Each structure stands twice: as C-alpha cells, then as structure tokens.
Amino acid sequence: MDQIVTHTVNSPFATEDGALICRLHGETIRIEAWGPNAVRVRARPGQGVAEPHVSALSPAEGGTPDVVIEDRVARLRNGAITAEIVIVDRYGADLKTEAVIGFRDSETGEELLAETRGHFAGPRTRNFKSIASSSWKMEATFKAYEGEHLHGLGQPQHGKADLKGVSTTLLQQNAHAVIPFVVSSRGYGFLWNNPAVGRCEFASNITRWSAEATNGLDYWIVAGDTPRDIVRAYHGVTGHSPDLPDWALGFWQCKLRYRTQDELLDVAREYRRRGLPLSCIVIDFFHWTRQGEWKFDPDDWPDPAALVTELRDMEIETMVSVWPTVSASSENYRAMTEQGLLLTTERGVPVVIPFPDKDPFGPGFFTYYDAFNPEARDFHWDVVQRNYVAHGFEHFWLDACEPEMRPAHPENVRTALGNGAEMICAYPLLHEQRYRQGLDAAGRDGVLLCRSAWAGSQKHGVILWSGDVWSDWDWFRAQIPAGLHAGMSGLGWWTTDIGGFYDGHGGSDAFRELLVRWFEFGVFSPICRLHGFRVPEGVPAPGPGEKVTYGQDTFNIFTRSGGPNEVWSYGPEVEAVLTELLRVREALRPYLKDCFARYAQTGDPVMAPLFYHFDAAGDRHGDAGTYMLGPDLLVAPVLSPDQETMRVALPEGTRWRHAWTGAQFEGGAEADVACPWGKCPVFVRESAVDAFTPVFPNIENGS
C-alpha cells in the first residue's frame, strides 16, 4: 500500500489497517478496499463504525489500495475505483463544514457517484436521527445524473424496465422481493448492505437510500466497464450459486392444491400415461396438521416415504411447501415460546398474521419462528429433518418467508437481534441459509423455491418466484422486467406462476389465451413451473368486464382445493399447444444446463436484458418486453390479447434466425413475424443455429 500524507495537523483524516478514516463533527467514516475495483463504506455517529445486524458481504479479499491524504481531501484508490472524502464549506447550514463522499473512475477521473444535499441548509448528505443510543433513522443522498439507467433492486412488480424515476419500499412483501443491489449505466454497481426497512428513490433530482432504524451506514460500490463486470464482481463478494440439478431444468407441475397422496399420484401417473414430460410435482400448503408442526396430516398423506419413492421411480422429483408460521394450537408452540424461539411484538398480542389453518377452529392468528435466533433455526430444521427429510424429501418450497405480516409494521416486531425495523429484510436469507446447511450436512442436493430473498440468497441454491400475482395481462407484462431485475440483482434461478396465481378461470376463453401466452414465456424462462389458484369447476365463467368469483369464500378453497391446473385441463386445443411447448422445453435442456453452469461460475444471469450481451443495445433500456435467455436466444413474449404479428428490434453485431421459420435477419433490423399460439417470437444467433436444430426443426429452412 502506498500512503501519502501531505498535512496532518488537526486533520480529520487518518489510516487504519489500510482503510481511510475520517472523523468530523462526531461522526466516523471508514472506507476500505473490498474486493477488486470495489470499496466498502461505513459511517455512524461516534468514534467507530459497526457491522450491520446481518451483512451480505463475504470477508474482503486482500487488496493494496493507495491512500492519499491532503488538507481538505483524502482519496483511497483500489484498482478501477477511487473513493474520495472532501471537506466542503456549508454556508447557511447547521454546521459550517461537511465531509462529502464521492467515487471516480481511477483512469479517467470521471465521477461515478457522489453524495449531495437536497437543500443547502440540510439535511446532511448522511443524515442520522437518533432513535435510541445505538440506533438511528438514517438516509444517504446522492446526485442524480441525466441519462443514467439503473437495473436490479430485487424483484419488483411496477413493470418498469428502468429503475430511473422509481420510488420503492425496502420491505419484503409477497411478490415484492428486496435485494438492495443496482447496476448503473454509469459504470458502477451499488449494494446497500443494510437489512433495515426503508426506501429507495431514483428521482430526477436526487437519489436517496433510507433506513427506518439502523446501527449505521454500510454500502459497497464497485466500478466496471460493462454490466457483466459489475454483476460478476457482486457475486464475488456475496457468493456464487451452486450448480442447478439437471431435473430442475424440466417442467414443474403445481396447483393450489393437491389435497391427498392419492390425488397427487394420480396426476403424476396421468402425465406419464399421456407421455408428457414432468420433472417435478409440488405439494402445496395445508398438507400439514397445524401450522408450526411441520409434518404431513396422516389422514391425507399416510405414507410420504412411499410417495417419494414411487415418484422417483417415474423420474419425478417431489417438492413440499413449508411455512415458517407457528400457531398457538401447534404442539411446538409452548416449547418455542418458553425457549424464546418465536418472533414477538413490541406492543400487544404476540402475533403478526391472521390466516386460515387446517384446524377445526378455522382461521387463527400466528407468528413466525425467529430466523435471527440460531437456536430457533436449529429447532425448526430439526423438526423439518424428522418429518420431511427422513422420508426422502429434499426440495422445499419456502413460502411466506418475507415474513408476511398483516399489517406490515416491522417496527412492532421483536427479534433475537433487536427491533424488526432494523433487520427484517434479511429474514429470508437466514431462513434459507439453515435449510442449505441442513441439506448439505445430510448429503442432499436439494432445491429451495422461495417467495422472497435478500442479497446473497443465491449462494443458498434459491429459486426466487414472483409471488401471488394476478391472472391478467397487466400483471403478466410486469413479470418480464421482474425477472430481468432479479437476474441483475444476482438471482439467476427465477420463475413465475404460469398463468398467474389469482382469478384464473379454466372455462374462460380469455384466460385460456392468457395461459397459452404465459406458458410460452414460462418455457423460455429459467425455471418452467405451472401453478395457480384456479376457480373451482362448476363456477360460471365471468362475462366481459365481470369480476371473477370463486363461488365461495376463498379461505375455504385454501383448505380444500381450487380448480384443475394440468396441461389437459383447458381443452384439446390448449392441450395440443402446451404439449408442443413441453417438447420445446425438453429439447432446450442441454442449452439451459450450460447457461446455469455459466451462472454458477460467473454470475451471468440466465435471463438478462439485451444490453447485458450487446453493447450496441445499450440505448434500449426502456424495452421491457424483450430479453436474452442465455447468450444465444432472444425472446419477445406476446404481451397483449388477440395479437397475430409482432415487430421485434434485433441487436446489432450478429445475424439472427427466426426460430420457428428459419427466416434470416440482419442485426439492427426490425423483424415482422407471425406469432400464432405456442410460437412467441424467438430468434437465434446465426452462429449458434446448429445447436438449436433439435429444438426448432424449421430453423435451417429459411432464406
């Protein structure tokens, strides 16, 4: 490390163990190298900084940063990024000087990102409002840059391809998964390493990150020439995913819900009788006795081990839903209460969600086991191991793992590490971590399907799915940017409920069209999974403009069953289309295996925006409907009803083939193609055509 100090008398700057330290007005800032071309920034009032309650960052790799300290500025250079702290004068403010942090490209000197104030009088660029002796409400404000584009931040449902102009909560909720990492078109990636509840705003005049309660500021920033450089660096400091098991590349069958062992087996046998591919079948919630007992109801599932064995004999894997909820009627409730293993509330009764249960008393009030308590994680896993893993189950659907709270008041939740507002966003990370540790110890190559995730979840082998979305075109359109943002946030294992979750009526022509188009998208998604809460049979289909009804209270259907949701459930015409799409998915598996292997090694998302693979496509940040599946397939889902043709803009730099006809197109052109049912626009790089002839038989026929 080269350290140059030109003036130190009364200086606020110092170095400690290679880190740059600034102490001014009772605040300590610490900036240190944290991996190649990256730095970590921590700050808080007092004489030192603190670790967050939960951190996404792995220990830093060794680095040799250069530190230069002058009178009113100090710089730390680590490869391509230079962090600087400048002491600026503040006229008309509460304090006359302020330490302002900024980041530059080390080679060009161009500014990547810098702090700013919204008003000259305040609040400060890093503003701490005391809540208690070691907790603050905190916000950090940065400049907004014209022409900047931002991607990531987890899995949103706002439908925006570009985060610029978006304001969103940092709070895990059903369908809204928070992974606080973004990739900027200005050549940097930014991780808000803070599990607190808060907000993120990418306005035209300012960028603001805030935490409602925290023990300090903590973020990580990396410089990179391309989005690929940035995403790969993020995986380097938060962890790489394991390899995806081959079976998971195939088709998954699911619905709300299969009620019994016999019903589930009948569906699996029918897939085999029809000669249809099926890799996984999923057992949804309420297979259990009560919430918090984490075991099968023996009346409905008399021999779970035999179930797993028969399905494996058919080359079908089984996944089972496990919620982290605990009912006061559960056989485990008293012990978990006495041992302090449950989330409680700061005020009022110790429950956080009202929900139905498979219980003679009907709906009740529940809490969650405390994933922030390692003893609680061990208790929960021990029960899961006895009641599921011991019977051969190794793939788990970790539903409601936000944790879902109603009302969503995390500040009223008490965890083993402190108040919920300070850390609740990291609940799914720790919940998933214990499952991965348990499966690894048992020698099981299990997969976790999760409704929520946080920074670093990818290293636990997590498939993020887009939650309980509605069966309509607006929600369908939102799934494409949701999947793309998830991939740019590090979650390459991603899926959605094909057909949507709520309000799908199998007898409706309108829904059948939506289902087919969503199935097309599912086949060309990282994970292909059919799921939904279908309207029960016998309920009339809604007319134009009418609201879907389930014919009864939906809580009753939770504990009974929705309508059928198998590929043959929607009539012969739909069945024929879906059958051909399943053939395509099966033929894609060798290609997808390579894509997932590359993701595990590098972090390159399986489903990515065009600009990730094509520099020339960098001006298409607003295109929410076209994406790359791996490096060679361009997919443009049909996102509107009654559509027979589409115009698709193709990236420059390569020639393209229309997958279904073989028609050839130059890069940079716009292709007008037909899109009949089962054939959304798909294009293959000219150089990769030979590898896709088993998938698209007509691809070599065009001219």
Say which range, 113-122, 162-171, 618-627, has the weakest mean pLDDT.
Answer: 618-627
Where do the domains of the chain lie? 3-238, 600-692
Q: How far is CA 181 from the centre of its chain?
A: 11
User: Strands, DSSP E only, in 424-530?
Assistant: 448-450, 462-465, 494-495, 502-504, 528-530
pLDDT at position 545 is 87
Place of tokens 């605990």: 326
Q: State mean pLDDT over 252-281.
A: 98
pLDDT(351) > 90: no
pLDDT(617) > 60: no
Residues 53 and 427: beta-carbon distance below 8 Å: no
List the alpha helices (DSSP H) in 319-373.
Answer: 333-338
pLDDT at position 549 is 93
Which CATH topology does 600-692 take? Answer: Immunoglobulin-like (2.60.40)
Condensed to tens digits (0 to 9), the pLDDT of residues 28-65 reads 999 999 999 999 999 999 999 999 999 999 998 767 89
Task: Judge if 3-238 and 600-692 fold alike in CATH terms.
Answer: yes
Catalytic residues: 399, 402, 468
pLDDT(350) > 90: no
pLDDT at position 259 is 96
pLDDT at position 5 is 44
Element (H, E) at 487: helix 473-488
Distance CA 179, CA 455 (A): 5
Among candidate residues 87, 154, 103, 13, the one with its CA nearest the CA of residue 458: 154
Element (H, E) at 616: none
pLDDT at position 415 is 97
pLDDT(323) > 90: yes
Q: Looking at residue 587, what DSSP letter applies? A: H
pLDDT at position 61 is 75
Place of tokens 């800032």: 29
CATH number of the domain at 3-238, out of 3.20.20.70, 3.40.50.300, 2.60.40.1760, 3.30.43.10? Answer: 2.60.40.1760
Residues 52 and 217: beta-carbon distance below 8 Å: no
Condensed to tens digits (0 to 9), the pLDDT of residues 586-610 reads 999 999 999 999 999 999 999 999 9
pLDDT at position 7 is 43
Q: State mean pLDDT over 154-180.
A: 97
User: Number of H helices and number of E strands within the chain?
Assistant: 11, 43
* Angle between helical axes of 572-602 and 509-523 (0-180°, round to 10): 30
Condensed to tens digits (0 to 9), the pLDDT of residues 374-425 reads 999 999 999 999 999 999 999 999 999 999 998 889 999 999 999 999 999 9
Give the number of other CB atoms < 10 A from CB of residue 56.
27
pLDDT at position 622 is 47
Condensed to tens digits (0 to 9), the pLDDT of residues 217-247 reads 999 999 999 999 999 999 999 999 999 999 9
pLDDT(620) > 80: no
Q: Mean pLDDT, the chain, as a whole number?
A: 94
Please, which pLDDT band fits residue 621 given cuts at 50, 70 and 90? very low
